Amino acid sequence: MRLRNITGSREIIAQNRFVINDAKSHKGNISREVFNNEAPLRIEIGMGKGRFITELASGNRDINYIGIEKYSSVLLRALQKMEENELPNLFFLRMDAEYITDYFGTGEIDRIYLNFSDPWPKDRHAKRRLMSRNFLDKYTGILKKDGLIEFKTDNRPLFDFAVEEVKEAGWELVACTYDLHNDEEMVRGNIMTEYEEKFHSIGNPICKYIIRNVK
């Protein structure tokens, strides 16, 4: 998702009280030092305008959430939503997931959400896909043992790639559907993302897996 570059968005974000700007200094202690509690920490990587994580945090006040987004102009939209409806258990981080292990300590994360991640269709860019083995290895370091990743997309070739990577990277496939909205069990409690709403409304089946960090 590339929104028009918004002048000054970096500066606005740097001063926003819902953004963790000194995240590296809290590495390993984010729940205690940022949220002032010991609740489990869950993150969404590539959250876009933040609809999914905002609704998730709103319905689960006993869990801490961080929405991660690479682009300031996109993150700004999520901050505008938060200004209208403040949540004590949600913060944001502007960061490229490539560097995620610089920000979170070993086993610090309880769950990771990946929604409609960029496909990077060229084979030579496969390592940039957020569910590639390259990234799964990074997540292994920050996710607690038996922690989960939930991934949704309407892009079938990307999903097939992601399922293959699960085996290669030695994770456990817990649940998998190629048509989420017609899967009675997996759709229960589903929160739609902006992209999901768009693609579901034009009839695209949504794929979802849940995988476990067994290492």
Catalytic residue numbers read 118
In angstroms, what is the minimal distance from the CB of 37 to ligand SAM? Answer: 25
| Dist. CA 102–CA 93, nearest whole Å | 13
Residues in the chain: 215
Name the residue with tokens 């390993």: 28
Separation of alpha carbons 69 and 20, rounded Å: 12
**Contact string 115-154 vs ligand SAM (x = CB under 6 A):** xxxx------------------------------------
Q: Nearest approach, Cβ of 91 to ligand SAM (angstroms)?
A: 15
Q: Which stretch binds ligand SAM (CB under 6 A): 32-40, 68-76, 141-149, 165-173?
A: 68-76
Min separation Cβ 119 and ligand SAM, Å: 8
Torsion of CA 2, 197, 84, 29, to 10 degrees: -70
- Contact between 82 and 18 under an 8 Å Cβ cutoff? The reply is yes
Of 194, 200, 204, 212, the residue at the interface with ligand SAM (CB under 6 A) is: 194
Instruction: Return the residue matching tokens 């729940």.
Output: 31
Specify the amino acid at residue 37. Answer: N
Of the candidate spans 15-23, 27-35, 172-180, 194-202, the one that interacts with ligand SAM by CB under 6 A turns out to be 194-202
Residue 41 binds ligand SAM (CB under 6 A): no
| Residue 188 DSSP class | T
Contact of 130 with 118, CB cutoff 8 Å: yes
191 binds ligand SAM per the rule CB under 6 A: no
Residues lying near ligand SAM in the complex (CB under 6 A): 1, 45-48, 68-71, 74, 96-98, 115-118, 193-196
